[in-house]
Every structure is written in structure tokens, then in C-alpha cells.
Amino acid sequence: QQQVKQSPQSLIVQKGGISIINCAYENTAFDYFPWYQQFPGKGPALLIAIRPDVSEKKEGRFTISFNKSAKQFSLHIMDSQPGDSATYFCAASMDSSYKLIFGSGTRLLVRP
Amino acid sequence: DGGITQSPKYLFRKEGQNVTLSCEQNLNHDAMYWYRQDPGQGLRLIYYSQIVNDFQKGDIAEGYSVSREKKESFPLTVTSAQKNPTAFYLCASSAPGTNSLYGYTFGSGTRLTVV
């Protein structure tokens, strides 16, 4: 019940296309859902995050869509660029637990 | 600038040797964490600490030890009992309960290799 399942494992998108990464969770007590971006040899950096009281959050080309009833959330990268090529992790937590549960990651490659 | 500093960036360990990875933060965060990342894998929690002088085992604590004597510091020791220590180690910190969306701040990692 503590798992966060992420798919796909890898994704190849042409420049200008839309990248979509999906995550699903079981624990309905989760109330914080961030996405992290990691470049090779670097630590992950927070990209965008959402709480379950909203169904969508947009920051520039990055959008989180959240479906509370289905217990799923997804990251959409519009107009994908080669510089977006990185590994993306979804995560979930209950604030009081102090612990983020991470998905297994998606390696995104955006072709020029 | 506020942030997390991990050192060293690269570390080589001989068989049977203990090594210590450093993690320092100046964000005034209460909670700190250690994760292990293997090539092409996700992040696995080793240990975490919610407050000074207290810490809990994560999912893969065997062969590792930590201390939290100061709020700013959370060093990780990889002991000789850890049979497969070659990995990328990430330290993170957070300020739980602040109702913010900022979550974790990660360090830049230490790559440990057994030679």
C-alpha cells in the first residue's frame, strides 16, 4: 500500500511533442504529490508538486493532472525540448510521515 | 546560498573498509534522509532522521549506520557488512509539516565505488 507505481520506464519523444508519464498509488492518506527531475550525475530537483484538493497544476510547459478517484497522477511536458532529456520521478507522501515514497523513474529522451 | 552539501563527490572503498559520506545542510530543515540509487533504478531509502539525536531505518538499512548529533549534519557510514556498496548516494532534507510544496532538497550526490 506504500508503493507508487510509475510508467513507462523509458520514453522517446520528438522535439515539440508531448511527453506523458503516469503514476498510481494505493494509500489514500497520501496528500502530497511531487515530481522530480534528475540529470545524470546530479541530485533530483523538484519540478512541480500538487495536493489532492486540485485536479491540475500548470507551471510553464509542465502540468500535473491528478485523478483522486482513480488514485493516479501524471506529468505532461508540452513542447518537449532536448534539454528536457532526464530521468523523472514521481513521489507521494503524508506530511506527518516525513517520508517520500518514490516511483521507479522514467528516462526521457527528446530527439532533436 | 542555502542548500545541501555532500562530500566527497567520488569515493573509492577497498574491500572490508568502512567509509563515511558527509552531508551538511544550512536550510534549517528538521528532517534529513539518505537514499541509494543504482544505475537505472529508483531511489531506495536507507535511513532518515526527523530530529537531532533520533533516526530510523529505511528500507535497506543493513550494512549502513548514521548519526544525527547536529541539526545541520547527517553523515552516513557504509560498513564492511554492506556487500554491494557501489552506488550513487543521495542526501536530502525537508521541513515537514510546513504545508509547503517544496518537499525535499537533494544534495548533488556521492558516487561510491568498491575497488
pLDDT attached to residue B83: 86
Helix (H) or strand (E) holding A59: strand A56-59
Cβ neighbours of B48 in A, within 8 Å: 98-99
Q: Which residue has the higher pLDDT, A99 or A1?
A: A99
Q: Do A100 and B97 touch (CB under 8 A)?
A: no
Q: Taking CB atoms and an 8 Å cutoff, what residues of chain B touch A93?
A: 103
What is the distance between the alpha carbons of residues A62 and B18, in angstroms, rounded to a whole number?
Answer: 43
Bridge-based pairing state of the strands A62-67 and A86-92:
unpaired
Q: 3-state SS of A27-38?
A: CCCCCEEEEEEE
CB within 8 Å of A9: residues ≥ 6 apart:
A104, A105, A106, A107
What is the model's pLDDT at position B103? Answer: 77
- Asked if the model's pLDDT at residue B79 lies above 80, the reply is yes
The three grid cell numbers given for residue B5, joined into one nine-digit string? 552539501
Please list, in sequence order, all residues whose beta carbon lies within 8 angstroms of the beta carbon of residue A29, skipping any fewer than 6 positions away: A94
Q: Do B102 and A46 touch (CB under 8 A)?
A: yes
User: What is the structure's pLDDT at A70?
Assistant: 95
Residue A20 parent element (H or E): strand A19-25
pLDDT in tens, B14-72: 888 999 999 999 999 999 999 999 987 789 999 999 999 999 999 999 999 999 999 99
What mean pLDDT comes out for the span A89-112? 87
| pLDDT over 80 at B99, yes or no | no
* More confidently predicted of A89 and B115: A89
